[in-house]
Structure 1
Amino acid sequence: MLITVVPDIARYAQESGVDTLFIDMETRGKAERQGHLDTHKSAHTYADVARIAAVLTKAELLVRINPPWEGTSAEVDAAIDAGAQRLMLPMFRHIAEVDNFKRAVAGRVPVTLLVETAASLARLPLILPLLEPEDRVHFGLNDLCLDMKLDFLFEVLGGRLLDGPASFCREAGVPFGIGGVGCIGQGLVPAEWILSEHVRLGSEWVILSRAFHGGAETLPALLARLDLANELNVMQRCYQQLAMTAPDVLSANQASLALRAAAVHGQYQQPRVA
């Protein structure tokens, strides 16, 4: 998945192999939660949804609306009317919030539930039966990290906190994705280790981080940064190699990720050899 509201970039991303273009309309409470973090802060509109919908022929258009509130039903209607092909509900905590969201959508488009609170993680086994065959789950690491009062988003993977929830999804036959990833060979935690966790857990997609576009607002600016199709091919090859890797190697990668994630904010220091 790639976040953009630039039609030329959306078209280019689609042709490069991006499966889902992501419009982010979540604003309620996000600045308060993530204002101190270097994360995506949206200012997207229904007009942006319509513009991106007009240029897509293969990729899906996903729209993230606001967390549950009294205006959810109106947001659902407006996003679908603008051209959304899938809706994402963030920051929910209660089963009733998911049920109300699903009632508002009324089967018009499939949905993705963004599991990014401790409460939604704990209640996932009771939430999954509300989903239909085309619905999905995505585990959001930034807000899950904040909700659990951790220091670094990849501590969620380091602590194997998604092992159980991923198993619930697999058993229920609900496809799921996890967080975001940067380009291969980059990042405080190597992208290879993050992809290894996707393989180990059975995740089927990931959000491409700003490393893939750098906030570019025009296609020429993006093309000057990188060859997106090539970067995606590199990532696919890495994923395919990991998919053929022995389970004990994936477990070793997870242990390395855990140590690196803890070390980012000084929670762990390599023991000194006497």
Structure 2
Amino acid sequence: MNQLNFMMITASPDVASFIEQHGVSRIFMDQEVNGKAERQGHLDTHKAAHSLEEIAGVASVIRHAELMVRLNPLHSFSDKEVAGAINSGAQRLMLPMFTKRDEVEEFLALVNGQVPVTFLAETPQALVRMPDWLPLLKPGYDEVHIGLNDLSLAMGLSFLFEPLAIRLLDTAAELLNGQEVKWGVGGMARIGQGELPAEILMGEHIRLGSQWVILSRAFHQGAASSAALMSQLDFPDEITKLREAQARWQQASHMELMKNHQKIATIALQIGRSIDA
């Protein structure tokens, strides 16, 4: 049974050093700004751009976690962004908002195997065309993350988890798992919190075979230090709760996982209706 791994966004070296000691396997830093405010300006999502100096600062302190940096969608200066992030200590790069095989080929050529790449499949085109571009990736090295915020926006949906309602990701999950490409999807709140609580969402990750999830803002609230982080919540305890929920779902039957999926579909569609009202 696959282990679900956690990644979290932070630009604080102190926070990064702390969370990697308590169950976070990947530190996520973000340089994407092109077009993001226009797409997600009305949403409570991460929009700050981390500088190369901040990336280098985090890279200098982490010892176990992988440092991943999300760049902008492909543009005329992508080669400089790739070089800057890698020279500052990025151990993995993420490409957002791509739509076709040509973009995957171009980005892989720019990176040239220096670090692995996670391709953020967050457009309907990228999802539909996955059989075309997925063979370009190196299993066990490159990865895929399915981004629900922009995917739901592009589909005209009001709630980011609505795509799960009709098992939209099942075909992609089967393809990714069949080609042994590690992948993840979306973000996750704390146990007992969020419009779609983690204890329910965890079951869908297990059903689909997802291996990565982003810990949402509920885990850090933008804390700039480990002391500030711990003043808001008991971080190690929250990770333990997630692991306990994961262990329970890993023992669940197929019927139980499908019943949980139906619960997710009901909740997601109800929330979508309430937003539209």
Q: TM-score range by the shorter chain?
A: over 0.9
Decide which of 68, 83, 91 is 1:85's aligned counterpart. Answer: 91
Deviations 1:50-73 (A, max 9, x none): 000000110000000001111111
Residue 56 (structure 2) pairs with residue 50 (structure 1): yes
CA apart distance, 1:42: 1.7
Identity of aligned residues (%): 48
Deviations 1:138-189 (A, max 9, x none): 0001011111111100101122110001111011110100100000111111
Decide which of 143, 146, 149 is 2:153's aligned counterpart. Answer: 146
Residue 20 (structure 2) pairs with residue 36 (structure 1): no
CA apart distance, 1:267: 6.3
TM-score, normalised on structure 1? Answer: 0.96
| In structure 2, C-alpha distance between the alignment counterparts of 1:245 and 1:50, rounded to whole Å | 42
1:23 aligned residue: 29
Decide which of 199, 219, 234 is 2:206's aligned counterpart. Answer: 199
Q: Secondary structure at the match of 1:32?
A: helix
Deviations 1:100-119 (A, max 9, x none): 00000000001100000000
Q: Which amino acid aligns with 1:4?
A: T
Decide which of 110, 114, 117 is 2:120's aligned counterpart. Answer: 114
Residue 255 (structure 2) pairs with residue 255 (structure 1): no
| In structure 1, C-alpha distance between the alignment counterparts of 2:166 and 2:16, rounded to whole Å | 35
1:264 aligned residue: 271
Q: Secondary structure at the match of 1:261?
A: helix
Q: How many residues are paired up?
A: 268
Range with greater deviation from structure 2 (78-87 or 212-221): 212-221
Structure 2, unmatched stretches of 5+, are 1-6
Q: Secondary structure at the match of 1:79?
A: helix
1:135 aligned residue: 142
Structure 1, unmatched stretches of 5+, are 269-274
Range with greater deviation from structure 2 (213-222 or 202-211): 213-222
| In structure 1, C-alpha distance between the alignment counterparts of 2:274 and 2:264, rounded to whole Å | 13
Deviations 1:43-96 (A, max 9, x none): 211111100000011000000000111111111111001100000000000110
Decide which of 119, 123, 130 is 2:129's aligned counterpart. Answer: 123
TM-score, normalised on structure 2? Answer: 0.95
Q: Secondary structure at the match of 1:16?
A: coil
More relative contact order in 1 or in 2 (CA 8 Å, sep 6+)? 2
Q: Which amino acid aligns with 1:213?
A: H
Decide which of 214, 220, 228 is 1:213's aligned counterpart. Answer: 220
